[in-house]
Structure 1
Amino acid sequence: MTHRMERDGRTRSPPRWTRSQAAGIERSDETVAPIVYPPEEDVAPDLHCWDTWLLRSRDGSIAEIDGYRVVFSLTAPADLLPGTRHDVATIRYFYSADGRNWTCGGRVFPEGTAFGSRQWAGSALYDDDRLYLFYTAAGSRGETELSYTQRIAVGTGGTITADEDGVSIAGPFEHEILLEPDGEHYEREDQSRGMIYTFRDPWFFEDPASGETCLLFEANTPIPDPEDEDRFDADPAALAYNGSVGIAVSRSGDPTEWTLEPPILEGVGTNQELERPHVVVRDDGYHLFVSSHEHTFAPGIAGYDALYGFVADSLRGEYAPLNESGLVVTNPASAPFQTYSWLAYPHREEILVSSFFNYYDLQGLSLDDVAHLPPAEQQRRFGGTLAPTLRLTAENASTRILGTLEHGHLPIADEELPPLLSAFADDGSGAESGARYGDGPVSR
C-alpha cells in the first residue's frame, strides 16, 4: 500500500480521485470546447504532430531565445497511418517569433542516440544556457519487436542559438535514464494487471513556495492484493484501473538527480491513465491537470476524452476535483475526439490551454471503427497539428471556458489577448459549444 510521510512523522495515503467524484462527470456550458475545423495552413504538412510542450525557464515561465519561443512535439511522417504514429515517435522542435507562425527546426536527437526505440512526451528546461529535454524512453534502443517498457530519461548538453534565420538546436546530447518504477510506490511492468501500463510524461516543476525541485510523471499504483485493498471504494475488477500522478524530488536542485517519493494523486478504481500531469500555481492554489480518455475509466464510470483538474493549497495538499467531478475541458458530444493532450499554463488573469487536433468528421464512428476505414479515410479524418488554444478562467475550485485563440497561438506573459466577444456564432451543426464567449468564430 502506498503511503506518504507527513512532517510530524505520520503516514497517510495520497489524495484520491474517487469513483463517486468521477461519477459526476457531465458536459456543461463551462467545460465543452467549440467545434474545431482544419486550419488554413498546417504547421508541418509532411508530419503528424501531437503532444506539444513549451521550452520553459526554471521558474516555469516561457523561455525566450533572442525573441523566439520554442516548442517540442512528438512527430511522425504524415504518410503513416495515424494509429501507428506512436510506434515511431520522435521529438522535433518548432520556433516562432510571434507565437502564431511556427517553423519546424528538425529532430532534436539524431537517430539512434536517445534511449528507447521511440521517444514519448516530456518537458523542456532552459537553465543557465543549458537545455534539459526530459522524455519518455519507450521500448529499448535497437529492438526489432516493439516493447512497451517505459523509463524517464533526459538529454542534456545541447546548444540553442538564434539569428535572423531562426533557431537552431544542436548536440551532442548526453542521455541518462533518470527514473524507473520501484515496484512499491510505482508499478513495474511485470506487476501490471491493467489494460495499459504507464511510467512516462516527465514534467519539470520548481515549487514557488518551497523552492523544491520536482519532476511529476504519470504512473500506476501497485495493487498486490485486491482483496486486501479496502481503502478503495471499488470491486477487484475496477482496481486494475490504477492511474497515479507520481513525483520525484531533486534535493540539490540538479535536474539530473532525482529521488522517487509517493504519488501526489491516485485514481485507483477510477481511471488507468492520468496523462501528462502538470501544475499551474495561482493565488487560489495549486491546479494539477491531467489528460485522460473515455476508454480508460473503470467499469461503471462514464468519462470523456478530456482535460481533468484538481486543486490543493500546496503541491502535496489534499486535492479536490475542479468543478466537483474533475472535468475541465472536453470535446462536444458530436466530435468527442477532435482534440487531445491538453497543456495548461498561466497568462495574466487567465489560463491558456493548448492541445493537438486529433480525429474529426467521424460522424458517430468510434476510434475502433476508424482503424477499419480505408487508409485514405483514416488520414483525412486525422488533424495531426496544433489545435486552437483555449482561454479559461479559474476561481477556487471552478473553471470556465471563455473563448479560443487561433490554431497554435501560444502567447507569452506580456502579450495582450484580443477582447472577449459576446458569443460564438451558431454554425448550424446542432453541436454543443461550451464556450459562450470568444475572440470570434472558431477557425474553419
Structure 2
Amino acid sequence: MKRGKKLSVVQGVALSAIMLVGGLVQTPGIANAAEKSETETAVWSREDAQNYNLNKENTAPDIDNVDQVAPDYWVWDTWPLRNRDGSIATVNGYKIVFALTASKEYTWSGRHDEAKIRYFYSKNGKDWEMGGLSYDPDKALGSRQWAGSAMMEEDGKVHLFYTASGRKGEESTTFEQRLAKTTFDIDVDKKDKSVELSNHGEHMILAEADGEYYETQDQKTGDIIYSFRDPWFFKDPKTKKEYIIFEGNSAGYEKTLDPENIGSEEFRKDHEVPAGAEDYNGNVGIASAENEDLTEFELLPPLLEADGVNQQLERPHVLVKGGQYYLFTISHQFTFAPGLNGPDGLYGFVNDSLRGDYQPLNDNGLVVANPEDDPFMTYSHAVMPNGTVISFVNEYIDENGNKQLGGTFAPTIKLSINGDETKVNGTLKPGQIIPSH
C-alpha cells in the first residue's frame, strides 16, 4: 500500500466546490481530505517519460578538452555554500563550493568507495583553489561520505549535510545510506588569501530509511543499489518551513505498479509494462526540520515517485522562480526502467507549491542531456538560484575521438526557465558560480 497518494480529480473538485449556507465551510470529512492533500505524492509516469528527442535547446555543448581543477584528485558531485534562504553565500568576498573527491591513487570506478568531501574557494567564482578536507575523516560518519549540501547561518556557522555511506570499520564495503550533518566555521586569511575551516562540531545522523515511506536496504529488489542519500537543505519562501530533500526509493517488500505509475487510461490500453519494471522505484524524499538548530527531522511522504520509471532520482533540489517551484533531479540512462530510454542528464518538474502535482518540464521532464555522440560527457547537474547549472566532467570524447576521464568541473550551463519550458543558452567557465543578487 502506498501512502500519501494524489487526490483523485473527483476529490479535488469536491474540495473546491462544496459551499454551505453562510459561506465556505470545511466539514470534518473535507478537512481530512485537505490534510491528505498536504502530503500528496506526485507521479512521474511511464507515459510522461517518453519521446526524448535531443536538440540544441536541451543538449549541453560539446567538451573537447578540460583543465583539471585539482590534478591529483578525482572531483565529481559539487555544490555551493548557500545562505539559509538558498542564495549563494560569500565569506569576506569568497565563494565556496564543496565536492566529492578521491585521490587519483584510486581508480575512476573505485573513487566512490573512497569519497571524501573537500572544499574549494574563489574570489571571482571561476578560478578555484582547493582547500582541504571539510572535516576530520576519523570523526565523520560512514566508511565514506557522499553528496549533500551546505548552508551558512547569519553568524557564520556552516551546516554541512552529507550522506553517511556504509559504516566505519566495516570489513567489506556496504551500501547502507543515512542522512547526516556536521557544523564548522569558515575563516579567511586576507594576508595569505586562503580559506580555512575551524570550530568543527559533532557529526550526527538526521534520518534513516523507515521502511514505510522509504525503502530500506533489506527491502531492495533488482540489481541497482537502493537510495537514501543526497540531503539538500531547503527553506520554503512561502511557508518559511525548513526541510531536507533527498533521493529515496518507494518502501515495501512487494513491488507493484498502480495505474497512475503507468499513465492515462488511453495510454494503458496499448502500453505493455516489461517484467522487472516494478523494481525501478525511485522517489524524491523530504523530511521537515523540527527545530531551528536542524538536529531533528521528521520523514514525510515523498514529493515525487517514479515507480516503474526510474530507479535513481539523484541529488534532488528545488528552485523557486516567479512563484513556481521547480524540482530538479539527475538520472542515468541505465536507471530507467525496462521499456524506457532516457539519456544521462538533468530532469525537472514544476508546481505552484512545494507539495502537489508536479508536471514534467518540456512535457517529459528532460532539461539538459549530453550530446548523442558523447552520452556520458557530464553528470551531477545542480541548478543555481539564477538558473545556471553546474556539473562535473564524467567520461568524454576528445577532439581525436578518444574517450577520456574527466573528474573535474564542467563548464557551467546557462539555462532559461519560463513556465514549464527550459532552454540551454550556452556555457560559462568551468565550475563558474555567479553570486545571488
For normalisation by structure 1, the TM-score amounts to 0.85
Alignment match, 1:122 = 148
In structure 2, relative to structure 1, the CA distance for the partners of 1:65 and 1:319 (3 Å cut) is same
Following superposition, the deviation at residue 361 of structure 1 comes to: 1.8
Residue 403 (str. 1) matches residue 426 (str. 2): yes
Provide the rounded CA distance (Å) in 1 between the counterparts of 2:159 and 2:48. 37
Alignment match, 1:2 = 2
Following superposition, the deviation at residue 159 of structure 1 comes to: 1.8
Provide the rounded CA distance (Å) in 1 between the counterparts of 2:275 and 2:300. 26
Q: Give unpaired runs (5+ residues) of structure 2.
A: 8-29, 263-272
SS across alignment from 1:185: coil
SS across alignment from 1:87: helix
- Identical-pair percentage: 45
1:177 to 185, 191, 205: 205
Alignment match, 1:384 = 407
Higher mean C-alpha displacement, 223-232 vs 310-319: 223-232
Following superposition, the deviation at residue 364 of structure 1 comes to: 13
Residue 38 (str. 1) matches residue 61 (str. 2): no
Which digits, 9 at most, give the CA deviation of each residue in 1:96-121, with x for residues without a partner?
A: 00001111111111222100000000
Report matched runs for 1:94-113 at 5 Å.
Answer: 94-113=120-139
Alignment match, 2:240 = 211
- Letter matched to residue 293 of structure 2: D
Following superposition, the deviation at residue 252 of structure 1 comes to: 3.1
Alignment match, 1:353 = 389
Provide the rounded CA distance (Å) in 1 between the counterparts of 2:252 and 2:320. 31
Compute the RMSD of aligned alpha carbons: 2.0
Provide the rounded CA distance (Å) in 1 between the counterparts of 2:104 and 2:347. 29
Residue 241 (str. 1) matches residue 270 (str. 2): no
1:343 to 382, 386, 405: 382
SS across alignment from 2:47: helix
- Letter matched to residue 390 of structure 2: S
SS across alignment from 2:48: helix
- Letter matched to residue 237 of structure 2: P
SS across alignment from 1:8: helix
SS across alignment from 1:45: coil
Q: Residue 109 of structure 1 contacts residue 173 of structure 1 at CA under 8 Å; is this kept in 2? A: no
Alignment match, 2:17 = none
Alignment match, 1:65 = 91
Alignment match, 2:46 = 19
2:341 to 302, 306, 309: 302
Report matched runs for 1:253-332 at 5 Å.
Answer: 253-332=292-371
* Bigger Rg, structure 1 or 2: 2
Alignment match, 2:228 = 199
Alignment match, 2:196 = 168
Q: Residue 163 of structure 2 contacts residue 178 of structure 2 at CA under 8 Å; is this kept in 1? A: yes
Residue 188 (str. 1) matches residue 223 (str. 2): no
Aligned length: 396
Residue 232 (str. 1) matches residue 261 (str. 2): yes
Provide the rounded CA distance (Å) in 2 between the counterparts of 1:130 and 1:258. 19
Q: Residue 75 of structure 2 contacts residue 99 of structure 2 at CA under 8 Å; is this kept in 1? A: yes
Which digits, 9 at most, give the CA deviation of each residue in 1:156-194, with x for residues without a partner?
A: 2x2210022221012433000110011010001000113
1:29 to 41, 50, 56: 56
Q: Residue 212 of structure 1 contacts residue 251 of structure 1 at CA under 8 Å; is this kept in 2? A: no
SS across alignment from 2:110: helix
Alignment match, 1:371 = none
Provide the rounded CA distance (Å) in 1 between the counterparts of 2:134 and 2:141. 13
Provide the rounded CA distance (Å) in 2 between the counterparts of 1:47 and 1:59. 32
Q: Residue 121 of structure 1 contacts residue 136 of structure 1 at CA under 8 Å; is this kept in 2? A: yes
- Letter matched to residue 162 of structure 1: V
Which digits, 9 at most, give the CA deviation of each residue in 1:225-257, with x for residues without a partner?
A: 345845532466211000000000013333211
In structure 2, relative to structure 1, the CA distance for the partners of 1:110 and 1:66 (3 Å cut) is same
Q: Residue 2 of structure 1 contacts residue 262 of structure 1 at CA under 8 Å; is this kept in 2? A: no
SS across alignment from 2:31: coil
Q: Residue 227 of structure 1 contacts residue 236 of structure 1 at CA under 8 Å; is this kept in 2? A: no
Which digits, 9 at most, give the CA deviation of each residue in 1:30-71, with x for residues without a partner?
A: 1011101323x4211011000000011100011111000100
Alignment match, 1:147 = 174
